Structure 1
C-alpha cells in the first residue's frame, strides 16, 4: 500500500483521517478497512525539495496535482474533482469524497496556510508552499457543498522569451522594462497574468529593488532583490486586518525602485495610481478584464467603488500607466491578445492598440 508522504505523518498532531477512497489512484483499494492518515496543519515540504514533496501539502489532492501539466484543481463538494491541464476542466473519475471529508480537507488546507475557515470566515484564500494558492468556500455560501479551488504554478524558471514567442511583443515588453514604463497586465482569471508579470520583472536590472504587494503572494520572480508584502485577514476577534491599500503605503516607505501590486481590485488602485504619478516609475500591476477595450470601464468601476469619479480615474490612469498588456486563453495556450496605451479622449479614458 502506498501511504501518504512522510511530510504529513512525521511528528504531526491531530491527524486528519480520510477513508480509503482517497488512496492514490494508481493503487487499488485493498479489501478491509485501511487507515490513510493525512496531516495538513503546519506541514512544510521535506528537505529533499522534489516535486512530490512540494505538492505534499495538498494531501489527497497531491497525486492529481502531479499529473503532468495540471495548473488547477477544483473540488465541488461531494460531486467530484476536476483538473485543468491547460485545455479546460476535466472530471477525475477515480476520486470520491463525501461532504464531511471535503470540508475537513478544506479546513486543513486553509490551516496549513495560517488562516481559519469556519462559519465566521466561510470563504478564504491562502498561499501554501511553492506558490500554491488555495481558495475554499463553505456552505451555505457554496450552495452545492464545500468547494476547493487550487492553483498550481507551472511556469517556474520560464523566461520572458519562453513565454512570448512573438519577436515584436517581446521587443516591446523588454523596451518597457528598459524605459521604466508602468505596465498593467490584464485578462481573465487563469489567462497567465501573474506568470507573464513575473517573467517581465525578472528582466529588471539586478541593481534595482522591487517591492511586491499582494493579497495572496503568488509572484515568483527570478531577481536578487525582491521584497514581498502580503495582506492579512482579521483574526478570530476581528482584529489585525492589513489591506492592500495600507501595504502600498508601507511599500512607498521602503525605497522601492519598482512597486508592484499583484491585483488591483479596490482601494489599492488609488494608492497605486497615486504612487505611479509621483515619480515611482517602472511599476506594474494586474487587473481582471475581458478585453483590451474593457480596461477603461474596469478602471472606472473600481474607481467608483472608492469614491473616484470617472474623470479622476481617467486623468490618473492616463498619466500613470504607460502600457496595457492583455492576455487571453485560447484552446490550451495563454497568449498576448494585444498591447495598448491609455489616453484621454474628451475627458474619458480610452485604450489605443499599439501592438
Structure 2
C-alpha cells in the first residue's frame, strides 16, 4: 500500500481511534489486535503498513521527515491536503509525499509546534518555533490558512557554507569573493539585506567563518540559525512567552546583554524590531565589525526599512538616519534569480548622506547574472574604506 492510498488512510484512522482508547506503546502487535477488533484484514503487509503510517506521525517530522533529509533541500512546504512541496535551490517542486486530509495536516502541525514548546489551536492559530533538530517551523491553522493548514519548514544546512563553497556554487563571483574577504578583514560594519529565502543568513554565516579566529563573536538571534565555522562563537537566543504569557526574552534585551560579554564582533541574526536601535547604538560606541541581516527589497530601501523599525522604539527619523549613517559602512544585498532560483550576491553598497543629512546608499559594485562586475558611483568610497584597514 502507498502512504497516499485512501484505503490505508482509512485503516490508519480506524486503528488510531481504537489505540487512543487504550493507552500503551505503539507496537505491530497492538495494531494487529486493533485491526481484528475492527473486522479488518490482518495480513503482515497490512499490519506493517498501518504501523508505519502511525509511527511516521509520532517520530520526528512525521511524513515530512524523509524530505528534511534529502540533499539540498532548504524548505518543505505544506499547503493543506495534497502534495508537499520542497525547494532545492531551483524553485518549488512537488514531492512524492502527500497529506490526505485537513485533519492530518492539523494534527501534524500541532505536534510539530508542541515539540518546539508552543501551543497551536483555535485560540492560538499560528506559531513559529525551532524544532529539536534545529529546523525552523512556522504553522497557521485553517480556516485562517487556505486551502488548509499551512506548515513551512526551513531546513538548516549541516555545517553551513564557506565563502569558497558559495563561490563554487555560483552565489559569488571571484571579484565578489575577494571584496567580501577584504570587508571582513577591514572590520567594516555591514548589513546583509534581501528578501525571504534569498540566502541572507547563509551569506552572513560564511562571512563570519573568515573572521580572525582570535576574535570573539557574540550572536543574537530570534531563532538560532547561524552556524558559522568559527572557534569562538557565543549565541544568545530569544524566547517567546509561555502558555501563561510570562518568561519572554526579547531580542532587544539580548543585544544589551551581548554588549557586556566582551564581543569583538556583535552580530544580530535578523534585525526585525526595535532591537535595531540598540544595535546602531552599539556600533556607534566602538564595536567595529558588527553586522546583521535585514529584510529589504533592495540596498536602496535599507535606510527606509531601518527608519521604520527605529520608529517602533520611539527613535525619530532624523536620529535614526544619523545613527545609521555613522554606524553602518556597507550593505550587501543578495537576490534570488527568477526562473533558476539561484541565490547570489547582487550588490555591494556604501552608506552616505544626502545634502539634507538623510542616510542613503550608493552602489559600489553590482554583479550581473553572467558574473560581470559593474562598478557604481560608490566604488571609490568602498575602496577607501577597505584601504583604511591596514593603517
TM category, shorter: 0.7 to 0.9
Corresponding residue to 1:340 among 340, 349, 359 = 349
TM-score (norm 2): 0.76
2:194·2:334 contact (CA, 8 Å) conserved in 1?
yes
Residue 93 and residue 167 in structure 1: after superposition, are their counterparts in 2 closer, same or farther (change >3 A)? closer
1:210·1:259 contact (CA, 8 Å) conserved in 2?
yes
Task: Quote the offset at 1:261 in angstroms.
Answer: 0.6
| 1:181 is aligned to 2:188 | yes
| 1:250 is aligned to 2:247 | no
> Equivalents in 1 of 2:107, 2:241: separation in Å?
22
Corresponding residue to 1:310 among 305, 317, 341 = 317
Corresponding residue to 2:50 among 17, 28, 34 = 34
TM-score (norm 1): 0.83
RMSD, aligned CA: 2.6
Corresponding residue to 1:266 among 264, 268, 273 = 273
1:138·1:147 contact (CA, 8 Å) conserved in 2?
yes
Corresponding residue to 2:135 among 122, 132, 135 = 132
Q: Which residue of 1 aligns with 2:99?
A: 96
Structure 2, unmatched stretches of 5+, are 4-23, 32-44, 366-391
> Equivalents in 2 of 1:352, 1:266: separation in Å?
25
Residues 313-322 or 293-302, more deviating = 293-302
Corresponding residue to 2:81 among 64, 78, 81 = 78
| Higher Rg | 2
Residues 205-214 or 319-328, more deviating = 205-214
Q: Per the alignment, in what secondary structure is the counterpart of residue 54 of structure 2?
A: strand
Q: Which residue of 2 aligns with 1:158?
A: 161
Q: Which residue of 2 aligns with 1:353?
A: 363
Q: Per the alignment, in what secondary structure is the counterpart of residue 103 of structure 2?
A: helix
Task: Quote the offset at 1:307 in angstroms.
Answer: 2.3
> Equivalents in 1 of 2:216, 2:231: separation in Å?
9
| 1:292 is aligned to 2:299 | yes
> Equivalents in 1 of 2:129, 2:240: separation in Å?
10
Q: How many residues align?
A: 321
Structure 1, unmatched stretches of 5+, are 4-12, 20-29, 42-55
> Equivalents in 1 of 2:61, 2:56: separation in Å?
10
